[in-house]
Chain A
Amino acid sequence: MSGRPMRDERLSLIQAAFVIARRDFVAILFSRAFIFFLLGPLFPIAVGAIAGGIGQQVENAAAAPQIGLAMQARDIDRMLAAHASLAPRMGQALPDMAVLERLAPGQAFDAASVLERREGNWGGVLTGTPAAPVLTVTGERTWWAGPVALVAAVADRTAPTAYPEVKTQTVATSGASDTRGRMRTAQVGQVILFLLMMLLAGMVLSNLVEEKANKIIEILAAAIPMDAVFLGKLFAMLAVSLVGIAVWATAIGGVMGLHGFERLFGGAISLGGLPEPGVGWPMFFLLAIVYFAMGYLLLGSVFLAIGSLATTVREVQTLSMPVTMAQVFVFLFATLAVSDRGGWLEWSAMAFPFSSPYAMLARAAQESALWPHAVAVLWQLVWVAMSIRFGAALFRKRVMKSGPRLKPGRRFARSAPRPPGPGA
């Protein structure tokens, strides 16, 4: 034996947490289950991609709504000719037109009844003459009046017959496209953050079942503070999650680089079209990692405390439903806030600790200022500390059925040496 005396004091909170985190991290990383963990996100991505591809095909296959022409034969021919001449210039802006019925002179036609019968693919019916067209449409297609007027004017030869050549200059962005595009970046960022949190933070729910089932908790409780067990498990799972994210990001990056990700799944997945976020891509990714860590620690500490109530996998499954629903509500709240820039909804989402990471990531996509992120990270750190503290107390109370009296400083107090007295 070494013969080297060890100090009697137990490990500090951080040292003990490190021992637990190291054990958990290694145990998870070198388990076969970790392979399934890494493959996990492939399933929702594949299902989403396949569903998206199918949806795209269905949408492409569905015929675009048409305007049915119910006019005298001569007027119909003039309208179709005018439509043919304008279509190359107007593209998608010009609704498709087709013959509904060639009317005899003076013949009446009930356009509304055609639409009400929901026959064919008619989105509207055009009656009258090119000089006095009557368009019957549902409310959402009243904008067709403009293109129809242009077609009618050309058919009636009252429109100009020669159009000047318009030279186009393409720029990267504009105020309008930036705002709209960054909102999309914000939403995509939030969705990815939500998916990662849902996939990863929920795992801590079942993190104590092994210790409780195998009675290891007694050994841990005798040697180190239960707060350290709590912290160690939380940070081990965070580290495992970050490894997983790094692997996924590397894999996705590799696939994109090698095979052109845009073309995968029939183009259903498109990442390249996202505009640059307000803070720039490097800072956005950095903030995404920070907000993931903050959100993970916040949710994870709550989940770990809740998970300590469970003693079996079945109980964990029962607990996971309300936990997942709570996550969804928080996500929806943060998603709503994206559309309310500067409004109370956005401020509430940024202030509420559990939605703050989502809301701030969205802000990083939309705004270039960095100082709000510094404030937000500090604010979230305060809540992370409180959440861990409260979660650890609850955790200790539930796991050992002997809770601390929650006096400030009591749990972390050092032992007092024994005063002189009988028996000493």
Chain B
Amino acid sequence: MSEGLGERTAADNAGKQLAIEARGLVKRFEGTLAVDGVDLAVPYGAIYGVLGPNGAGKTTTLRMLLGIIDPDEGERWVLGHSNPQAIARAIGYLPEERGLYPSMKAYEAIAFMGALRGLPLAEGRRRARALLEANDLGYAAERQIRQLSKGMAQQVQLLGTLVHEPRLVILDEPFAGLDAINQGKLERLIRDLAAQGATVIFSTHVIAHAERLCDSVAIIAGGKVPYAGSVDAARDRIPAQVRLETRHADGPWRAALPAQARREGAFWHFPLPESGVEPLLRALIEGDAGIQSLSIERAGLHDAFVAIAGEAAARALETAPEAAR
């Protein structure tokens, strides 16, 4: 995105302030518990991912943060306000279910979305054309939405989300339906937004996007948040994995391996002991293992997600009858 995001106040970028804070959000739909006590803390200027399987409660949580629906319990503060809709001009929102008027021209659709957020129509049209040009869509400015491909329409809606230069951008499953090239463009766009000072929060069930983009994530499963924090801390929840290859198949060195160690072909795999790599190395050398290769692989966010969401799912299953009541 070549266009800037306008001025932002110094307070916005003050590191310790929170762009979004939610405490104990609960939402039920006709007796079914959709979100069960969600807590979130999103710093200003962060790229924040909300990760979870389908039906986990991500969209409901985002809709509560936006004020589209009110929580049954709990409270949320968005850019310092308890009613997010009262500061709608500062927020840009791309919903999961994309929606544009099919008969509108592309630049009019973008300007209309800006007008909904308080941008004067003439200025919105000017910015819309500039944004379309900057994103290689200038040729489609006069085309009706119904004449655009699904991917192009999705990009138009994304530009409409940003045309009023929001300070907080909330994207619900923004990568869904995009091809690999456009997914890459969207990742760059999100980084640019954050670089210009905007806070970006997006939901996804594709971990790779969050791992590449996010400073912090919240993992939602079964309507609860079993983990919220930095990506690094999430990955650190799972011990690093050691991959060892030795010349000798057996010997005193085997005593240095933890009980969970398993052999796959020529390699041994096991979690890095809590004592660290140096005592392990020493024991292997003294035990005459004949080390050919040793690598320590840090756990990925995907592994962390599976581990965390799996546990949460199990907990949700245990409490499901109670929740249904």
Give A residues with C-beta under 8 Å from B.
1-11, 15-16, 19, 22-23, 27, 31, 210-211, 214-225, 400-402, 413-418, 423-424
**B179 within 8 A of partner (CB):** no
In the assembled complex, B79 has its CB within 8 A of some CB on chain A: yes
Nearest first, the 7 A-B pairs at minimum CB distance are: A415-B86, A215-B99, A415-B83, A10-B88, A223-B116, A402-B69, A216-B99
Find out whether the CB atom of B66 lies under 8 angstroms from the CB atom of A222. yes
Interchain residue pairs with CB less than 8 A apart (25): A5-B8, A6-B6, A8-B89, A9-B86, A9-B88, A10-B86, A10-B118, A19-B112, A19-B115, A23-B112, A210-B101, A214-B101, A215-B95, A215-B97, A218-B95, A219-B116, A222-B68, A222-B85, A222-B91, A224-B116, A402-B68, A402-B70, A414-B83, A415-B81, A416-B82
B36 within 8 A of A: no
Q: Are A1 and B5 in contact (CB under 8 A)?
A: yes
| Residues of B participating in the A interface, judged by any CB pair closer than 8 Å | 3-9, 17-18, 21, 29, 41, 63, 66-70, 77, 79-91, 93, 95, 97-104, 112-113, 115-119, 121, 123, 127, 164-165, 167
Give bound CA distance, A218 to B70, whole Å: 14
| Cβ-defined contact, A10 with B82, below 8 A | no
In the bound complex, residues from chain A placing their C-beta under 8 Å from that of B4 are 1, 3
Extra contacts besides A1-B127, A5-B8, A423-B18 (5): CB < 8 Å: A1-B3, A3-B7, A6-B119, A215-B95, A222-B66
Partner of B77, one of A9, A217, A400, A418: A418
Q: Does A223 contact B117, Cβ atoms closer than 8 Å?
A: yes
Chain A interface SS verdict (over half): loop
A411 to chain B, nearest CB (A): 10
Instruction: Chain B residues near A10: list those with CB within 8 A.
Output: 85-89, 117-118
**CA A19 to CA B121, docked complex, whole Å:** 9
Specify which chain A residues have a CB less than 8 angstroms from the CB of B91 in the assembled complex.
222
Task: Decide: A6 and B3 in contact? CB cutoff 8 A.
Answer: no
Q: Which residue of A lies closest to B29 (CB)?
A: A401
Q: How far is the CA of A271 from the CA of B70 in the complex (A)?
A: 56
What's the nearest-Cβ distance from chain A to residue B278, in Å? 39
- Give the residue name and chain of the B residue nearest to A220 (CB): B116
Residues of B near A413 (CB, < 8 A) are: 83
- CA A417 – CA B82 in complex, angstroms? 7
| Docked pose: A315 CA to B85 CA in angstroms | 31
Expressed in whole angstroms, the Cα–Cα distance for A218 and B87 within the complex equals 17
Are A222 and B83 closer than 8 Å at their CB atoms?
A: no
- Cα(A27)–Cα(B104), bound, Å: 8
Chain B residues closer than 8 Å to A221, beta-carbon distance: 68
CB neighbours (8 Å) of A217 from chain B are: 99
Given known A-B contacts A9-B87, A16-B116, A416-B83, A223 and B93 have beta carbons under 8 A apart: yes
Known: A214-B99, A219-B93, A222-B93. A2 touches B88 (CB 8 A): no
Give Cα distance in the complex from A209 to B81, angstroms: 33
Contact of A224 among B88, B100, B101, B104 (CB under 8 A): B88
